[in-house]
Amino acid sequence: MDANSMKMIAVAITMAVGAMAPAIGIGNIGAKAMEALGRNPEAESSIRTTMILAIAFAEAVAIYALVVALIIKFT
């Protein structure tokens, strides 16, 4: 295997792990938000706001992984 092949494998692994972990986290956030809404429907606005904020932070991890993968690929 040459260096370019190893670099592409590193990019693939970086994106796979970097996309899988936030996807699991976002799924858990959504599930817990629906559970909270079922228990306390009056707090919908507060729960929705907190859920969207938490999803944005989890999605930022995937964007960081993309940036790292691009740095690996083009250096």
**Which CATH number does the domain housing residue 54 bear?**
1.20.20.10
- Identify the H or E element spanning 6: helix 3-39
Q: Which pLDDT band, with edges at 50, 70 and 90, does 49 fall under?
A: very high
Q: What domain count does the chain have?
A: 1
Q: Tens digit of pLDDT for each residue in 55-70?
A: 999 999 999 999 999 9
What number is the average pLDDT over the span 32-58? Answer: 95
Tell me the pLDDT tens digit for each residue of 6-39.
999 999 999 999 999 999 999 999 999 999 999 9
* Angle value at C-alpha 53, between 18 and 57, nearest 5 degrees: 20
Task: Give which of 75, 23, 25, 74 is closest to 54, Cα–Cα.
Answer: 25
| Assessment of whether the complete model's pTM goes beyond 0.75 | yes
Residue 59 tokens read as 């999605």
One-letter amino acid of 53 = L
CA distance 70 to 8: 10
Which residues span the domain enclosing 42?
3-74
